[in-house]
Amino acid sequence: MKKLFGFLLFIIVFFLMNIQEAKAVEQDEREQMTVERMHMFQHMEGLTGVPWYYLAAIDQFERNIQKVRKDIPGKKGIIAITVPTRKWSGFLNPMQYDTHPSSILFFNGLGRDGSGDGKADPENDLDVLYSMARYISEYGFTEDDVRIALWEYYKRDKTVEIISEFAKLYRTFQTLKLEGHVFPIPLNRQYNYRSTWGYARGWGGRRIHEGTDIFAYHGTPVRSTSYGVVEVMGWNRYGGWRVGIRDLDNIYHYYAHLSRFNKDLKEGDVVKPGDVIGYVGSSGYGSPGTSGKFPPHLHYGMYKDNGIKEWSFDPYPRLKAWERQEKKRKRDKK
């Protein structure tokens, strides 16, 4: 029996070590891909004059939507941008899957040869990126020019807004590596929360509860959980004083019922994980300034955009994970 136990223990330890190893390898590969991606963006900026962060923003947006959409095939390779066939070849091109640069050009298609092999291949990373950069460069290089190019391409205001926000994040931090999260309430403060997503609302309204309530004392700091851009800031009938922040996963983080904002923060600002955006309160459910209709808490909501629509999902599992990771980081530091 003892021998069997020892053997089983050996198997388990061996197995766990392999998982750790695999995780480390995966991490290395992802970092390597990020480095290569950055090189490609900068290379294309050199060729076309389109700032790298716009290309990075479009690429990241498309990577995000491919993960949650069934109607778009996930592109293989380092670059996620997928140009629809008709756009690539030209709408009137009789060859729907054309890779000849000259005939694509003739039919006003978007496809170009960026790799120098004489073919405009929508599966080739360099071709795709070069084609997108050339398309944008036709509109110009200012922020407004790029926004118009993006609107003509995607025909959706929200998509233009999200890509512009991504570009701002990349431009501000000058890197593609903007990961990491924190729990919205500083861990040394008193707070408590449980999974309440989808419950009937306790206070007014008949909509389901689209978030997690984190109860804490009035005035407790509220921190941005991720890198992001402040998309919305102000009064909302239900949420009271609230802040909406968009991150690089197309996720909109909604912080509601604040007692006040961080005075230095405004719409369009860039934040990083841990930045204080406001303070816990009990504002909401009435005209601007209404407060005290319920105990102070942070209502934290998460909404995902797939390039067509936005929907709410349960933030509880993520909150738990960020809380755990942050505790671990603190322990490891000691």
By the criterion CB under 5 A, which residues form the site for Zn ion?
Answer: 211, 213, 299
Which of 139, 197 has the CB closer to Zn ion?
Answer: 197
Which of 113, 210 has the CB closer to Zn ion?
Answer: 210
- b/e string for 57-88 if b means 16 or more Cβ within 10 A? bbbbbbbbbbeeeeebeebeebbbbbbeeebb
**Rounded Cα gap, residues 294 and 286, in angstroms:** 12
State the amino acid at position 67 in one-letter form.
Answer: K
Place of tokens 């841990």: 274
Sequence length of the chain is 334
Which of 165, 213 has the CB closer to Zn ion?
Answer: 213
Which of 46, 198 has the CB closer to Zn ion?
Answer: 198
Name the closest residue to Zn ion (Cβ): 299
Residue 44 has a CB neighbour count (10 Å cut-off) of 25
Nearest approach, Cβ of residue 214 and Zn ion (Å): 9
**DSSP one-letter code for 139:** T
Nearest approach, Cβ of residue 313 and Zn ion (Å): 14
Which of 37, 299 has the CB closer to Zn ion?
Answer: 299
Which of 59, 213 has the CB closer to Zn ion?
Answer: 213
Burial class (CB in 10 A: 0-12, 13-18, 19+), 161: middle
Nearest approach, Cβ of residue 301 and Zn ion (Å): 8
What is the maximum alpha-carbon separation in the chain? 78
- In 3-state terms, what secondary structure has residue 319? helix
Which of 81, 298 has the CB closer to Zn ion?
Answer: 298
**Rounded Cα gap, residues 37 and 125, in angstroms:** 10
Place of tokens 């300034």: 289
CA 72 to chain centre: 18
Nearest approach, Cβ of residue 254 and Zn ion (Å): 10
- b/e string for 282-299 if b means 16 or more Cβ within 10 A? bbbbeeeeebeebebbbb
Which of 61, 322 has the CB closer to Zn ion?
Answer: 322
Which of 212, 224 has the CB closer to Zn ion?
Answer: 212
* Pairing mode of beta strands 270-271, 240-246: unpaired
CA 314 to chain centre: 16
Nearest approach, Cβ of residue 213 and Zn ion (Å): 4
Q: Which two tokens stand for residue 211?
A: 């978030």
Nearest approach, Cβ of residue 230 and Zn ion (Å): 20
Nearest approach, Cβ of residue 314 and Zn ion (Å): 12
Nearest approach, Cβ of residue 288 and Zn ion (Å): 19
Write out the DSSP string of 10-75.
Answer: HHHHHHHHHHHHHHHHHHHHHHHHHHHHHHHHHHHHHHH---HHHHHHHHHHHHHHHHH-SSSPPP
Nearest approach, Cβ of residue 200 and Zn ion (Å): 12
